[in-house]
Amino acid sequence: MQDLIKKAGQVKLLVMDVDGILSNGQIIYDANGIETKAFSVQDGVGVKSLARYGVLTAIITGRSSAMVDKRTKEMGVHYVVQGRDDKLIALNELLSMLDPALNITAADCAYMGDDLPDIKAMQTVGFAATVPNAHAEVISRSDMVTTRAGGTGAVREICDLILKGHGHYQDFIADYTLDEVNNQGESP
């Protein structure tokens, strides 16, 4: 686990797929043909926590959806790329659009994906993560498999790990508890 925490400490940008990562991967249509998705509130808290400590976030998804726009705005996701089937090309384009002063390369990124279109992007970044119900080929190429499935707090697990790697996790938790924190940022 310490190796994963160390690796997560290098992350400057977390890139996430939507279907199967931020949502459970199901596409549900109502009687009027309107698509709906469910998102985890815990993931939203995690994404917001990264922004608080200077870690950027991005979405790269193959589908386009107004509800993804709405949810990413609520969570404060910095960059949203929708309707892109080739995730590696989209990732490279995103990185090329970033302010050079940020000094972010693919090696400074974490990528969370769950299916075959995510693999090339995951193989390019410094930290690749997935969910337990991901395609077997994705799991075999991931640094970490979360304990939670997509849409049920999996992104939060990665956000917490990144905070631990950056040394901010205890400070973040202290905002929500009455626990005392000592000078090293650890609970007694």
124-172 pLDDT, tens digit each: 999 999 999 999 999 999 999 999 999 999 999 999 999 999 999 999 9
Per-residue pLDDT tens for 58-98? 999 999 888 899 999 999 999 999 999 999 999 999 999 99
Report residue 47 as tokens: 């994404």
Task: Return the bridge partners of 144, or none.
Answer: 129
pLDDT in tens, 13-48: 999 999 999 999 888 888 998 888 889 999 999 999
Tokens of 30: 């109502």
187 — pLDDT class (breaks 50, 70, 90): very low
Tell me which amino acid residue 142 is: S
Distance CA 35, CA 27 (A): 7
pTM attached to this predicted model: 0.91
* End-to-end Cα distance, the chain: 21
Q: Which residue has the tokens 């991901």?
A: 134
Q: Do 89 and 75 form a contact (C-beta atoms < 8 A)? A: no
